[in-house]
Structure 1
């Protein structure tokens, strides 16, 4: 079998071979090339020791030299070159206590996770496929190299990686591999939150995010995302729904584009439903579930060490995903004020995905109404309507100069002025707003909590 290799990666292999060493492209880049996918990285394995790699190539970085990995710099590109190795005992279900370098490619490939990742390629010798990786690619199967229990005992993260590869490639997991995953799911508690997060996001933005259902059935989410297990089998006897919460979530997840914030939002958007569910005369009620789901979302994303930018956007999208508003200028401006223009495009995508996963009898009408709201939103933005404080014709300094004291009342008055301008855009003139501010400064109701209405 011939396989295309980028020139710089091929040059590293040639140079190592010219110095008397073996060298191969290995792992995911070989798998993806065979599948016709573009590899993200090109990793190289070699019989050369790290110090020999450093001596041969003028520009290197000691990436993980204790484990045999040196990064070779070719112009502006980086390639990880790792010495053939045999891993020692694993004591934490994640890292070997020590590694031993070997001259055997076969020994190096034996330590790898799945057969489809245990193939090596060299332009001169061709493909090395000791564990029938090609056959598993053709059969579309994820299967461990050797004994699956041993592979997962070595590195528990491989349990999540199996689900992730299944989701990315649309492959099924071999029965023995699946059984070992289920038996050892509890060991995922030893894996760092950061590593769990990376695999979860890759699964969610994959071509088959519904594979998270399999992660649940194997006991994996019980360890890494127990909130998911709570939505399984939660019925929704309402006019808007015919699916239980899990099925609705899966369908909504598949209905939105594969972007991490959107997929996270659809995964988490109804996690609060089991907590708030009440039944009245045979009809289920999920009062304030978006707000409860948002609080849960914040806790989950913090636990998994997500960055603040992602946390903020997902939290707000979950909080507002069920906001009820009408297809008219005033109502859409109010929605923009609540949700925020910075996420409003995503908010529309989230609502579209959510609606599409509801009772088919209500979907067409709701989607048509959402399309009308989107048209109005775009006209509002194009006109430059005021729907937030920064668009007012007055600011805090203007109010202070007019005699309104600094403090909470200042912000409350600005918010009330925005509400008035949303209702009547012609009010957005400095003198008229200052007059209104003077009239409402002594009104205690300006501190009343706003009431919002959500889809059930």
Structure 2
């Protein structure tokens, strides 16, 4: 087997070899090369100690030197070069108490998470596959190196990584590995929210986001987002639905395109249905208020998982308005697009498409026809450059100041009233109409009566 190593990485290997050290590309780059994928980076493992690596290269960065890792710069590219090591006892499901350097490549590979990530390669020695990673690739299996409980005790995040790799590659998790995840999933509580977030996003934006179900079945969601587990246990006895809330959520995540915002939205869009569920006298379930309440809960979960503010704001808005219903008429589309934002509105329609796809067949064609018509009307609105925001109005604050309106709250209320008028009738978006004295007087009177 021949793996194509980029020139810069080959230069590092050659220099280490010339100095008498062993050196191999290792881990994900080997796996991806075998799979025919383009590796994101090439990591190198070597028998050279960190200081010996630093002496061989002009530009190095001590990125993790206490664990044997030095980043070697070749031009503008950085490559992590790590000394063969044996990890000592783990005390916190994350960090070894000590790291011992070793002269054995095999000992170094033993500490790695999964067999498909425990292969090394050099042109001189070919593929080093002590743990049958190649066989697991051929059989599409995620399997721990050695004893799964030991690997997950060393770093609890590896349990999420197992599910994430299964999702990204379309593999199955080997039974012993899966059982160990079920047993040790509670230890994920020791892992930082930032690391959990990274794995969750990689999983749900993969080609198989429905593997969220694996997170649930192995007990991982009970630790990182217990709100989801309630959804899996909540039925939807309603003609519009065919699944439990949780199964519906999973199917919506599968139905929407692999956009970070969209898939997070679908993951949490019905998260408060369990708390909002009521059953009428005929045995029909209803979930009044679930969208607005769910938006708040989604933000709380995203904040807990240390997501950025932009993501929280976007997901909150998409969830809050995902179930809004209105006649497919231009003025209604303008109002809704104005409410959520010109750029966000198309995403909201994608959310509706995914939601409908994961419901029962009841009225599905009519629901899809409604979305298609709204999408068509929105395209016309954009083509005609119709006003959707205060910034689109034919007048601005300066015009109001020239008319004697002082800057402040009143000015803001006037502009909002003008926008509401123009959303009803786009032809009103001209300065002459908006600045007519009788129109301004009418707006001012309305503001006075409501404050």
Match for residue 21 of structure 2?
21
Residues 417 and 437 of structure 1 are in contact (CA less than 8 Å); yes or no, is this contact kept in structure 2?
A: no
What secondary structure, in the 3-state scheme, does the structure 2 residue paired with 1:361 have?
A: coil
1:380-426 Cα distance to aligned partner (Å, 9 max, x none): 11111112211112223433443445544433332222111111112
What secondary structure, in the 3-state scheme, does the structure 2 residue paired with 1:20 have?
A: coil
* Whole-Å separation in 1 of the counterparts to 2:118 and 2:355: 40
* Whole-Å separation in 2 of the counterparts to 1:138 and 1:427: 66
Q: CA RMSD in A?
A: 1.6
1:157-172 mapped onto 2 (5 Å cutoff): 157-172=157-172
* Whole-Å separation in 1 of the counterparts to 2:228 and 2:260: 17
Deviates more, 1:204-213 or 1:9-18: 9-18
Match for residue 442 of structure 1?
445
* Whole-Å separation in 1 of the counterparts to 2:379 and 2:368: 17
TM-score, normalised with respect to structure 2: 0.96
Residues 413 and 447 of structure 2 are in contact (CA less than 8 Å); yes or no, is this contact kept in structure 1?
A: no
Gaps of 5+ in 2: none
Match for residue 146 of structure 1?
146
What secondary structure, in the 3-state scheme, does the structure 1 residue paired with 2:12 have?
A: helix
1:340, CA displacement in angstroms? 0.5
Match for residue 250 of structure 1?
250
Count of aligned pairs = 448
1:343-354 mapped onto 2 (5 Å cutoff): 343-354=344-355
Is residue 371 from structure 1 mapped to residue 372 from structure 2 by the alignment? Answer: yes
1:101-120 mapped onto 2 (5 Å cutoff): 101-120=101-120
What secondary structure, in the 3-state scheme, does the structure 1 residue paired with 2:363 have?
A: helix
1:311, CA displacement in angstroms? 1.4
1:194-241 Cα distance to aligned partner (Å, 9 max, x none): 000000000000111111111111110010111111101312222322
Is residue 70 from structure 1 mapped to residue 70 from structure 2 by the alignment? Answer: yes
* Whole-Å separation in 1 of the counterparts to 2:286 and 2:87: 55
Residues 113 and 151 of structure 1 are in contact (CA less than 8 Å); yes or no, is this contact kept in structure 2?
A: yes
Name the CA shift for 1:130/1:443 in 2 (closer, same or farther; >3 Å).
same
1:45-444 mapped onto 2 (5 Å cutoff): 45-281=45-281, 282-404=283-405, 406-434=407-435, 435-443=438-446
1:271, CA displacement in angstroms? 0.5
What secondary structure, in the 3-state scheme, does the structure 2 residue paired with 1:341 have?
A: coil
Residues 342 and 388 of structure 2 are in contact (CA less than 8 Å); yes or no, is this contact kept in structure 1?
A: no
* Whole-Å separation in 1 of the counterparts to 2:338 and 2:288: 22
What secondary structure, in the 3-state scheme, does the structure 1 residue paired with 2:335 have?
A: helix
* Whole-Å separation in 1 of the counterparts to 2:124 and 2:19: 15
1:8, CA displacement in angstroms? 1.6
Residues 255 and 353 of structure 1 are in contact (CA less than 8 Å); yes or no, is this contact kept in structure 2?
A: yes
TM-score, normalised with respect to structure 1: 0.95
1:36, CA displacement in angstroms? 1.2
Gaps of 5+ in 1: 449-456
Residues 262 and 347 of structure 2 are in contact (CA less than 8 Å); yes or no, is this contact kept in structure 1?
A: yes
1:244, CA displacement in angstroms? 1.6
